[in-house]
Chains A and B, each alone.
Chain A
Amino acid sequence: MAAPETTPGAARTQLAVAGARAATEGMFTASSRDRARGAVFLALLLFGLAIALTGLAAIFVWTLVRAWPRLDLDLITNGPSTLRPETAGFHTAILGSAYIIAGVIALIVPLGVGAAVYLEEYADNTRWWNRLIELNIQNLAAVPSIVFGILGLGFIVRGPISIGFVPAAASLTIALLVLPTVILAAREAIRAVPPSIREGALALGATPWQAISRQVLPAAAPGILTGVILAVSRAIGEAAPLLLVGAVTFATFDPSYFESGYTTLPTLVFNYATRPQEELRTLAAAGAILMLAFVLVMNSFAIWLRNRFEQRW
């Protein structure tokens, strides 16, 4: 650089290089102010995450502590009672929830997978009705659960179907509520199966349905199962729509699928929580622990399933 060159072009180059060097140096060596700013920002982010995690963890811890005195066998063997709150339990509610969930599973697996297969494998996306179905499913996924309760009350319990305030009506209502999430999850899973699998089957002479049922669906099964499990764990905790389809009875007898008079875990927890007696509130917390445990187990299983069977093609 020290060579004595006097042409104006070289001087300009020199100037430009010096300027560029200064600029890059200024950018690359972060000033202490920059570094402090970065540290404060990271601290803020961690603070936000900490609030989220502690807030959510607090729900578990508080519920467990509150429910501790009542975590005994009476909880699952005894029915509800306001007269003897210290031995009352959730027997009929657990049965009611189990009946409803069994119905939900029986409905959402064929219907959800069927709709997903249609949309992914058969539907021609240039047709307006297929686009309408797709938009409609996305929209239904975000309709508030209590609106499905209104549907259940006006259409299933009374109205055109009119089966009354029975567990079957609750099954139908909850199934319709979680169906969009099952369809969306099943579609993701089916989409993840590469086209070459289908094309290979078709080239070997399989009919479209043979290709789907023997190649695509088995390959997509873990993903679909994950979606179904997450839907079931959501279904168990839904209380709002059940309030409208009859799950409010203080039922002390075992439910029957097509007879009215049943109760469920979430609605009974709600019922106990709104009563003034301390013992009943403790009981409500114990019921919440039952639900939390169920949801945790189901969701962990779903996450494990997703990681275990995640297939790389």
Chain B
Amino acid sequence: MTVSDIAVSSAGAQARRSLEAASPRYGEKAIRAFLFLCAVLSVATTTAIVLSLLLPSISFFEEVSIVEFLTGTRWAPAFADAHFGVLPIVVGSLVIVVVGLLVAVPVGLASAIYLSEYAPRRVRRVVKPSLEMLAGIPTVAIGLFAALYLTPTLQDALPFLPWEGRFSSAVAGVAVGLLIVPLIASVSDDAMRSVPQGLREGAHALGASKLRVSLRVVFPAAISGIVASIVLAMSRAIGETMVVLMAAGAGTRDLTFNPWGSIQTVTAYIGSTATGDIATGTIQYDSIFAAGAVLFVLTFAVNMVAIRLVRRYREVYE
């Protein structure tokens, strides 16, 4: 073995001893860059959403004053005598949300408390997945059910109510409530089950009845998760389009709280207007985007509250 051979092999050994990679590993870096781009795509999506809402909205507000938009009580962009007050459709969305929550909160929470505190394991193993499965029912199917079955049936069953025509915002709200029940039940159930078992055992050891343990110990301990589930359901109800479009119609232009007749929501306006062939650049086309911006701001605010609450509740129990 020559001296130079030894020098080479010892240099190799020294290089090996370092913990650095032997090669620059460009492939690894390229993969990492690609994965980063995948993650950044979500930020790009949000940016694109904001831009696609903002740019047409700017040209919309060049023609319509913001004050009229926010305070006007008549929404009729397609008429010769056009009005652009957004309040009627915002109130329409709120009516749907309120009716939906009136149905979904008691039903959803009762299901959640039963599943988490009372249900035998075998019942739970069947009911929980079926609830989750029902959460995946296409909204068109629910809208069809509400428009063709629920409305006529309720109108026959309760003829003394002042129904107006074949659309009813109350029925649409009930259908939306049915839609968000699985969401509330499932998320609240998770929140209550993550309450440490020791709290329950402690309360039972002090002699508390099951009712007290559920309502006074577990429920308050899980309250942030429960509220978060309700807030998430609220944002889902605000954004629901098909059920509202099919069961509440999209006809009303004036401010109304009437639950027995047709009502127009922000989503239904967007859905019904965009289906027609409207030319780009018209004020009616731009009004879709202005309404979309209102919807985005509404749900964004609600979502931020929900994310905050979920985060706080996670900090407590992990």
Contact = CB atoms under 8 A, between A and B. Distances in A.
Interface of A: 24, 26-28, 30, 34, 37-38, 41-42, 44-49, 51-53, 55-56, 58-59, 62-63, 66, 110-112, 114-115, 117-119, 122-123, 132-133, 135-140, 142-151, 153-155, 158-159, 176, 179-180, 183, 207-209, 230, 233-234, 236-240, 243-244, 248, 266, 269-270, 273-274, 281, 284-285, 288, 291-292, 295-296, 299-300, 303
Q: Is the interface of B mostly helix, strand, loop or mixed?
A: helix
Contacts of B208: 27
Binding site of A, secondary structure by majority: helix, strand, loop or mixed?
helix
A139 B304 contact: yes
Given A111-B41, A180-B42, A291 B271 contact: no
B148 A237 contact: no
Contacts of B214: 41
A110 B38 contact: yes
A56 B48 contact: no
Contacts of A274: 246
B274 A243 contact: yes
6 shortest interchain CB distances as A-B pairs: A144-B239, A48-B110, A27-B207, A237-B138, A114-B38, A154-B52
Given A115-B39, A273-B147, A140 B45 contact: yes
Given A38-B210, A49-B111, A140-B42, A291 B31 contact: no
Contacts of A132: 43
A111 B45 CA distance: 13
A133 B40 contact: yes
A63 B275 contact: no
Nearest to B178: A55
A288 B49 contact: no
B300 interface: yes
Contacts of A138: 303, 307
Nearest to B27: A209
A233 B136 contact: yes
Contact of A137 (B42, B206, B211): B42
A121 B249 CA distance: 48
Contact of B113 (A38, A45, A146, A159): A45
A110 B182 CA distance: 30
Interface string B131-159: 11110111111111101110000000000
22 contacts: A52-B131, A52-B185, A56-B131, A59-B178, A66-B148, A115-B38, A118-B36, A132-B43, A138-B303, A142-B235, A143-B296, A144-B267, A145-B239, A148-B49, A209-B31, A237-B136, A269-B141, A270-B242, A273-B148, A274-B246, A288-B141, A299-B136
B275 A248 contact: yes
Given A46-B114, A56-B137, A144-B299, 16 more contacts: A45-B118, A47-B110, A48-B106, A49-B114, A58-B145, A114-B35, A122-B32, A140-B46, A146-B292, A147-B299, A150-B288, A151-B45, A269-B141, A270-B140, A270-B246, A285-B144
Chain B interface bracket (under 10, 10 to 19, 20 to 34, 35 or more): 35 or more
Contact of B271 (A55, A151, A240): A240
Contact of A303 (B129, B141, B144): B129
B139 A146 contact: no
Contacts of B27: 209
Interface of B: 21, 25, 27-28, 31-32, 34-43, 45-46, 48-49, 51-53, 55-56, 106-111, 113-115, 118, 127, 129-134, 136-145, 147-149, 178, 181-182, 185, 206-211, 214-215, 232, 235-236, 238-242, 245-246, 267, 270-271, 274-275, 280, 288-289, 292, 295-296, 299-300, 303-304, 306-307
A273 B247 CA distance: 11
Contacts of B137: 56, 59, 237, 292, 295
Contacts of A140: 42, 45-46
Nearest to A58: B145
Contact of B274 (A53, A149, A209): A149
A237 B107 contact: no
A38 B139 contact: no
Contacts of B118: 42, 45
User: Which of B107, B280, B295 has most chain A Cβ within 10 Å?
Assistant: B107
A135 to B, nearest CB: 7
Contacts of A248: 275
Contacts of A176: 45
Nearest to A241: B241
| Residue among A26, A51, A59, A236 facing the most chain B CB atoms (10 A cut-off) | A59
Contact of A52 (B35, B181, B236): B181
Contacts of A230: 136
Given A239-B140, A266-B138, A143 B49 contact: yes
A155 to B, nearest CB: 5
B300 A240 contact: no
B117 to A, nearest CB: 8
B242 A115 contact: no
A133 B39 contact: yes
Contacts of A239: 138-140, 241-242
B209 A207 contact: no
Contacts of A288: 138, 140-141, 144
Contacts of B306: 142
A295 B136 contact: yes
Contacts of A291: 138, 140-141
Contacts of B107: 48-49, 51-52
